[in-house]
Amino acid sequence: MKKSIKILLTGSSGMVGRCILFNKKSNRYRFLTPRRKELDLLSYSKVYSYIKKNKPDIIIHAAGIVGGIQKNLREPMKFLVENIEMGKNVILSAHLNKIKKLINLSSSCVYSPKSKGPLKEDQILEGKFEPSNEAYAYAKVFNSLLCNYINKKNNKYNYKTLIPCNLFGEHDSFDPKKSHLIASIIFKINRAIKTRKNTVEIWGDGLSRREFMFTRDFSDFIYFSIKNFNKLPHNMNVGMGYDFKIKDYYKKVKKVLDWKGNFTYNLDKPSGQKRKLLNIKNQKILGWKPKYSLEKSIKITNEYYLRNEKNNN
């Protein structure tokens, strides 16, 4: 019987980590999914020892401090330091323990708002980052550069960085103080329905554009990446190939939830980066594309929210 591939997945309790594990393809692999009590990613010695002891065939680094605009603005030091520290510990420990394959998850915020889109992988570090997520962007760039330096130092190492567009789905955080856009909209409109409120507030003018992928699709791409590992470029965008205005996402959630209210705009609040649509040429060359429509994805995510409503309020 063929030995199954052993994968160390960091961040297994997060949104992306859970979707990877709950994907039906997960039973083809042997996963190591240590929680924080078992493995503190902020401790280099503990990470190094864990990898040395368990010797995974592949590492997927999905752990991180994440959140929407509010959380990014409120805790920039935490976003910068802890995301760098976790990435450094995992990537260096993998290298020194001679783990040849690693998938590092990045973010579309690594692109400057001044870069012309659709954004290509060679435009990273082309200009200043969006102030509302600057700290997170610097940390993600640090981790991807470390992977690239290891690849250049020894071609036997194959460390890949995936740069997904914005993600949403089951296991997301719906707390408005730290949630991303679609989860926040679902929370706010459900709250409006429950309290019979006729209006929901949108931060900024609602004209900034965002590209969102359902986490079920992204987890499917992770398994596609494992299977096609050697075909992946060192840095690769993963996206939908199209985006919508923020106010249009509010309208789509409103329609799916059949809410009859209206939106107001708080122009004193930040709108975030105007646009960060990804160029997905490499994704198309590999022949992978997402399966879920936005409406279906919102419906599934809202059903998840309602099943777990007590934990979301």
Which residue numbers are catalytic? 136
**SS3 (DSSP) at 193:** helix
Q: How many helices, marked H, and strands, marked E, lie in the chain?
A: 11, 12
State the DSSP H helix or E strand holding residue 214, giving kind and residue range, or none if neither.
Answer: strand 212-214
Structure tokens given for 305: 């929210």
- Find how far residue 285's CA is from the centre of its chain: 22
Residue type, 51: I
Residue type (1 letter), 111: Y
Q: 184 and 251 in contact (C-beta within 8 Å)?
A: no
Sequence-ordered strand ranges (E) for 63-136: 101-105
What's the one-letter identity of residue 237? N
Look at residue 62 and give its three-state secondary structure.
Answer: coil
| Token reading at 192 | 């409006």
CA distances, 194 to each of 190, 199, 200, 313 (Å): 6, 12, 13, 12
Q: What number of CA atoms fall less than 13 Å from residue 280's CA on the CB side?
A: 22
Residues in the chain: 313
How far is residue 39's CA from residue 6's CA, in Å, rounded to a whole number? 17
Retrieve residue 156's tokens.
Answer: 């036997």
